[in-house]
A = this chain, B = another copy of it.
């Protein structure tokens, strides 16, 4: 009888933000029957249970409220990155971030959503290459009806949620993936090249990964579990960033001739801290909204667990990163601690609905540790990641996806398949795109621009014109 409940993928398929449209249509038909039954026999429904329309309202409203919080994460990435780079590149990173959010919002409307969710066959690989996405005819009929008939309401309600509420929530997710790339490649990737890559990532690469999983494709059919996207969102961003970091190369003088890394201290530590608090806050929407529903007792119990676990994992991430940074970096390292929060958050994202909450602490502790140790690994490999995005989003994302096997009964082989398949696809396609960019318009600014700073060279402004008397010069 619980119509909206039928829209959830069965738990063993992973709770997915978004359904394939083919699946949704089948379900809608079933729901319509169920709904009609309720409407014909109102007494058959317990008076204490929410009605179908109310479930529809709450499920849609939840998408929107949580989606607004996820949008807010873009501001968090911006502050984190603008504070992490040197002042001479702080304006450009602001532009990259607001630009990527604008681009992602349009590409996902024009192409991305359809490719990810519309017409993905069961076990399939991609959705539809079609243009635009929007309000359904049934919804328009309801909105324009002077006096809506119950059948008109039912036709809309049977979809489970307002069409564009789901679109909105999915759109802010793809923006998150894009945000991960900007931080890693800061201070040397060309503005226009970056925007071009983001357009391809958000229109094509991410939606294909999404089609395999939340869209109902082959990884979903295998039973791959990734509740809110440790792999689908965060590792995807991380792989794309890694490919970019390899092609674009490290900042000039980041690595000394003897191979050791030069410290590149953040220019604005309070801004970095604010960014992490924003991300932490936004993550409640990121994980909470991925419950995809609010309209029943089970949903809200799961939601409460998700928010509690998200917070516990982030807290664990902070403390583990601070503790591990002491032996590893020889000091109490605020930036490691801040990145540890992100590592803990990424790690819990694959399974934030677990009911034994101490597991969230453990997953966060390890997530924060992986993130901190990962900084050392990248340095050893001479990969330059300005904000530590690859350890936090990719390494902790892999850990989180595998941790589902321990804490929530995921299948090791299936989870590993998902990690590797997404990794291979995203890394390979990103590498190709970055190579294409490199050998056409160029991926990287000139040495002169890099030394002068992208703000002055590409935008003709300074981020803090009255503060900095003399921009740092990159000599050893």
Contacts and interface: CB of A to CB of B under 8 A. Distances in A.
Q: How many copies does the complex hold?
A: 3
A5 to B, nearest CB: 9
25 contacts: A47-B47, A47-B51, A48-B157, A49-B150, A50-B51, A57-B300, A78-B270, A86-B466, A91-B269, A94-B270, A98-B337, A102-B316, A105-B311, A106-B361, A109-B312, A135-B355, A139-B301, A143-B301, A163-B301, A265-B461, A268-B270, A268-B463, A331-B459, A331-B460, A466-B468
Contacts of A53: 48-50, 296-297
Among A52, A97, A102, A298, the one with the most B-chain Cβ atoms within 10 Å of its Cβ is: A102
Contact of A148 (B294, B298, B303, B462): B298
A102 to B, nearest CB: 4
A277 to B, nearest CB: 4
A300 B165 contact: yes
Interface stretch (A61-69, A227-235, A240-248, A411-419): A61-69
Given A48-B52, A53-B296, A139-B355, 17 more contacts: A50-B53, A60-B303, A65-B65, A68-B307, A83-B270, A87-B466, A95-B332, A98-B338, A98-B341, A99-B322, A103-B315, A106-B315, A145-B298, A156-B301, A162-B301, A331-B460, A332-B458
9 residue pairs, one from A and one from B, having the closest CB atoms? A42-B47, A75-B277, A162-B304, A165-B304, A102-B315, A164-B304, A94-B273, A102-B318, A48-B51
Contacts of A148: 298
Given A277-B74, A298-B142, A38 B47 contact: yes
A46 interface: yes
Interface of A: 35, 38-39, 42-43, 45-54, 56-58, 60-65, 67-69, 71-72, 74-75, 78-79, 82-83, 86-87, 90-92, 94-95, 97-99, 101-103, 105-106, 109, 132-135, 139-140, 142-143, 145, 148, 150, 153-154, 156-157, 162-165, 167-168, 171, 191, 265-274, 276-278, 280-281, 284-285, 288, 294-305, 307-308, 311-312, 314-316, 318-319, 322, 331-335, 337-338, 341, 353, 355-358, 361, 455, 458-469, 471-472
A154 B156 CA distance: 29
Contacts of A60: 300-301, 303-304
B57 A295 contact: yes
A25 to B, nearest CB: 18
Nearest to A360: B109
Contact of A64 (B54, B101, B304, B315): B304
A357 B78 contact: no
Contacts of A65: 65
Contacts of A98: 273, 276-277, 318, 337-338, 341
A1 B135 CA distance: 26
Given A274-B78, A468-B467, A56 B300 contact: yes
